[in-house]
Amino acid sequence: DAGITQSPRHKVTETGTPVTLRCHQTENHRYMYWYRQDPGHGLRLIHYSYGVKDTDKGEVSDGYSVSRSKTEDFLLTLESATSSQTSVYFCAIRTDRDFGYTFGSGTRLTVV
Amino acid sequence: GESVGLHLPTLSVQEGDNSIINCAYSNSASDYFIWYKQESGKGPQFIIDIRSNMDKRQGQRVTVLLNKTVKHLSLQIAATQPGDSAVYFCAVLSGGYQKVTFGTGTKLQVIP
């Protein structure tokens, strides 16, 4: 996906361990988002950022934290992974000019 | 809050036929609507959007229709091709485009 890279693409981790997912953009967009995608649910917003060090919670933020120290990087951290956090995580960017979102390729996270 | 639903979880269509995927929303104040296509293992991709002051918008082989009276929008794909096989979902924006709700998706299967 143009301009957005997520890493890792796949990860298996154990319950209770911390996990950090990375989203990197090359297009200098102000708005960045983390969503999770689960069967039977639409994409649900975890956290978002509207600038460096400016972040806010989404609808499913419990158990997650984020950081944005540079415009291009938005990190999602699971402080202590639980099985309920097994999901596919998508990062997205949005321009100031329009309201369509551009999504990364996703990170499939499995917590065992 | 906004709820967004799709009428069919799965739609099977013969190659060459037209496909229609539907989405219903609950908030009459919603003002911007987007259709996304998500292929297996990939992030959602923008297909087409429509603002609430429009009833219809056409793209290449795709048309979005918006019926604000019954809070319904549809995505029409003309001459469906095998490459159209994917999950399609709508996104509904409200609150001055600050609040977005995603539908759960309809899986389109194209029969050769």
pLDDT tens-digit readout, B45-71:
999 999 999 999 999 999 999 999 999
- B45 near A CB under 8 A: yes
Two tokens at A35?
């969503």
User: Is residue A1's pLDDT more than 50?
Assistant: no
Distance of alpha carbon A91 from alpha carbon A22, whole angstroms:
9
- B87 near A CB under 8 A: no
pLDDT recorded at residue B32: 92
User: Is residue B7's pLDDT more than 80?
Assistant: no
**What dotted CATH number matches B4-95+105-111?**
2.60.40.10
HEC profile of chain B: CCCEEECCCEEEEECCCCEEEEEEECCCCCCEEEEEEECCCCCCEEEEEEECCCCEEECCCEEEEEECCCCEEEEEECCCCHHHCEEEEEEEEECCCCEEEECCCEEEEEEC
* Fold entry, domain A4-111: Immunoglobulin-like (2.60.40)
Contact B43 A43 (CB under 8 A): no
Contact B43 A100 (CB under 8 A): no
Show me where the domains of chain A are located.
4-111
User: Is residue A99's pLDDT more than 90?
Assistant: no
Distance of alpha carbon B94 from alpha carbon B51, whole angstroms:
11
Contact B103 A42 (CB under 8 A): yes
Show me where the domains of chain B are located.
4-95+105-111
Two tokens at B52?
């609430």
- B43 near A CB under 8 A: yes
Residue A42 or A95, more confident: A42
